[in-house]
Amino acid sequence: MSKTRSVFECQACGFSSSKWLGRCPDCGEWNSFVEEKVTATPAAAAGKSGPRQGVLGLETGGRPHLFDEVDGAEADRIPSGIGEFDRVLGGGIVPGSMVLIGGEPGIGKSTLLLQVAHLLARMGGPVLYASGEESERQIKLRGERLGVRGGALYLMGETALERIVEQVDAIRPAALVIDSVQTIYSTRLSSAPGSISQVREVATQLLFLAKGRGLTTFLIGHVTKEGNLAGPKSLEHIVDTVLYFEGERQQHHRIVRAVKNRFGAISELGVFEMTGSGLAPVPNASALFLGERLEGAPGSSVTATLEGTRPMLVEVQALVSPTSFGTPRRMTIGLDANRTALLLAVLEKRVGLQLLGEDVYASVVGGLDVPEPAVDLGVAVAVASSFRNRPVPARTVVFGEVGLGGEIRAAGQAALRVREAAQMGFTRCVLPERNLPANGATREAGIELCGVRTLEQALEAAFGEG
């Protein structure tokens, strides 16, 4: 006979306790404990107590193998047919992998996955698209907008995990899409769909299924207000790859970033445009982000950033205006706020810009998050440009990390950045001296290179002739 007991789990981090607590001792969240009824069956420990054999018939037993004996040949990646999606995944879909795609509601998760499912169904084996959010009819209507037609794409409006697994047994698909993991529940647990133990249970069972059968699985996950997937940590370590939709729903382009990837570089970006017929890849992201630049306006600079393996030019804008309150405001969009505050201090101390009585707003155009330190120089130049009310020459691009001593530090993959700038028609590049080519050349790919060692030199070079 199975015994039922209660545990209380923090919905923010998954910490469990035998009694209710007002504040989670693990993550510090208030009021996040929810009672979960646990039936003492093998699955009830919710994945916490070591491997769970027998779930879904997967036997992981057997002896260990010598390193050299293990078959290390990488399975061929399957192109999804959408170049930008393959790029974030690190060059195509790895068969049998589990990919989590997170994003705000309405950003385009279902759209992207339906497109991918459709292309996979036409090229590879059957694909099962199981949705707990929409009915088959609704998915069909969306599919018609996307031009879905033909191929072995099965739709299923279902919220019970066990019934989805049954259908996986029946159809034997090559890929499975779960839209979304928060709406699916397992009958093994009594708690509501979306609670942390359900989400974890569903993901773990699907992982066994994926690994046991070589079934490629895409999980769609909702992101909470704070920008976390509900039950974030527990899902992120279960899956192979985590992709997030980034940026604003109001903008017509969409950015998908890999934040974890067992099979490729992280920080890899895919750029899409939301059109009337689904998401269209944007291979030339620099052109998109520089598209609306007002040339010759003060307070703007162009910097070369690297996202994964892709160099990209972005515009950094700054607005410096006298503060009307006691404390000056500092606000950033797409940039690290602390790093920007630090840069302002360096500008003040090392270059002598009197920013103390000024509000400073800085942003990256286009809704992109640029966490890379190599954009420091771009921010510093934009701030100086606004402060002095003096534009940076339109064909000049800058990059480099700024240190607290006012020194300019080298950035990775400088040659890639320079080449991207040259391709976009820039003629001058202000970059860290250490990044100059080893042969001492001051030109590369038709672009003039100005190596600088300090922030002061950099500003001089950036505003110089061009």
Q: Please report, as ranges, the residues that interact with ligand TYD according to CB under 6 A.
A: 103, 105-111, 142, 145-146, 274, 276-278
* Of residues 110 and 305, the one with the C-beta less far from ligand TYD: 110
Identify which of residues 57 and 105 has a Cβ nearer to ligand TYD in the complex: 105
The interface partner of residue 106, options being ligand TYD, Mg ion, none and the CB cut-off 5 to 8 Å by kind, is ligand TYD
CB of 26 to ligand TYD, least distance (A): 30
Q: Minimal distance in Å, beta carbon 118 to ligand TYD?
A: 12
C-beta of 146 vs 265, nearer to ligand TYD: 146
Instruction: Read off φ and ψ for residue 333, nearest 5 degrees.
Output: -125, 125
Nearer to ligand TYD, 277 or 442 (CB): 277
Q: Which of the choices Mg ion, ligand TYD, none does residue 103 contact, using the CB cut-off of 5 to 8 A by kind? A: ligand TYD
φ/ψ of 57, rounded to 5, equals 75, 10
| Cβ-based neighbours of 203, under 8 Å, separated by 6 or more | 181, 219, 234, 235, 238, 239
283 binds, among ligand TYD, Mg ion, none (CB under 5 to 8 A by kind): none
Q: Which of residues 318-377 bind Mg ion (CB under 5 A)?
A: none
DSSP code at position 433: G
Six-digit token string for 434: 């250490």
The interface partner of residue 145, options being ligand TYD, Mg ion, none and the CB cut-off 5 to 8 Å by kind, is: ligand TYD
DSSP state of 67: G
- Pick the closer one to ligand TYD by CB: 28 or 105: 105
Residue 143: CB minimum distance to ligand TYD, A: 8
Contact partner, 338, from ligand TYD, Mg ion, none, Cβ < 5-8 Å per class: none
Q: Which letter does DSSP use for residue 73 in this model?
A: P
Minimum Å gap between C-beta 418 and ligand TYD is: 36
Nearer to ligand TYD, 151 or 328 (CB): 151
Instruction: Output the smallest distance, CB 135 to Mg ion, in A.
Output: 12
State which H helix or E strand residue 20 sits in: none
Least distance between Mg ion and beta carbon 189 (Å):
24
**CB of 110 or CB of 385, closer to Mg ion:** 110
Quote the CA–CA distance of 90 and 84 in Å, as a whole number.
10
Output b/e per residue, 264-296; b: 16+ Cβ within 10 A. beebbbbbbebeeebbeebeebbebbbeeeeee
Give the residue closest to Mg ion by C-beta.
Answer: 110
Q: Report the amino acid identity of residue 270.
A: G
From residue 112, alpha-carbon distances to 116, 143, 146, 279, 406 in Å are 6, 11, 10, 6, 44
Residue 317 in contact with Mg ion, rule: CB under 5 A: no
The Cα 265–Cα 261 span in angstroms is: 6
Report the residue number, 199 or 346, with the smaller CB distance to ligand TYD: 199
Stretch that binds Mg ion, among 48-56, 107-115, 189-197, 245-253 (CB under 5 A): 107-115
Q: Of ligand TYD, Mg ion, none, which one does residue 410 interact with (CB within 5 to 8 Å by kind)? A: none
Rg (CA), the chain: 26
Pick one of Mg ion, ligand TYD, none as the site partner of residue 274 (Cβ within 5 to 8 A by kind). ligand TYD
CB of 273 to ligand TYD, least distance (A): 10
Question: Which residue, 109 or 200, has its beta carbon nearer to ligand TYD?
Answer: 109
* DSSP characters over 21-46: -SB-TTT--BS-EEEEEEE-SGGGGT
Q: Left (φ > 0), alpha (ψ -120 to 50) or beta: where does 183 sit?
A: alpha
Grouping H, G, I as helix, E, B as strand and the rest as coil, residue 139 is: helix
CB of 132 to Mg ion, least distance (A): 10
Is residue 139 within 8 Å of residue 112, measured between CB atoms? no
Closer to ligand TYD at the Cβ: 72 or 276?
276
DSSP string, 171-235: H--SEEEEE-GGG-B-TT--SPTTSHHHHHHHHHHHHHHHHHHT-EEEEEEEB-TTS-BSSHHHH
In the list ligand TYD, Mg ion, none, the entry touching 299 (Cβ below 5 to 8 angstroms by class) is none
- Closest distance of CB 362 from Mg ion, Å: 33
Residue number, 183 or 261, with CB nearest to ligand TYD: 183
Q: How far apart are CA 238 and CA 116, in angstroms?
A: 22
Cα–Cα distance measured from residue 466 to residue 450, given in angstroms and rounded to the nearest whole number: 11
Closest contact distance (angstroms) between CB of 276 and ligand TYD is 6
d(CA 224, CA 228): 5
Number of residues that bind Mg ion (CB under 5 A): 1
Closest contact distance (angstroms) between CB of 76 and ligand TYD is 29
Q: Which of 97, 110, 195, 197: binder of Mg ion (CB under 5 A)?
A: 110
Residue 323 C-beta-side C-alpha neighbours within 13 Å: 15
The binding site for Mg ion (CB under 5 A) comprises 110
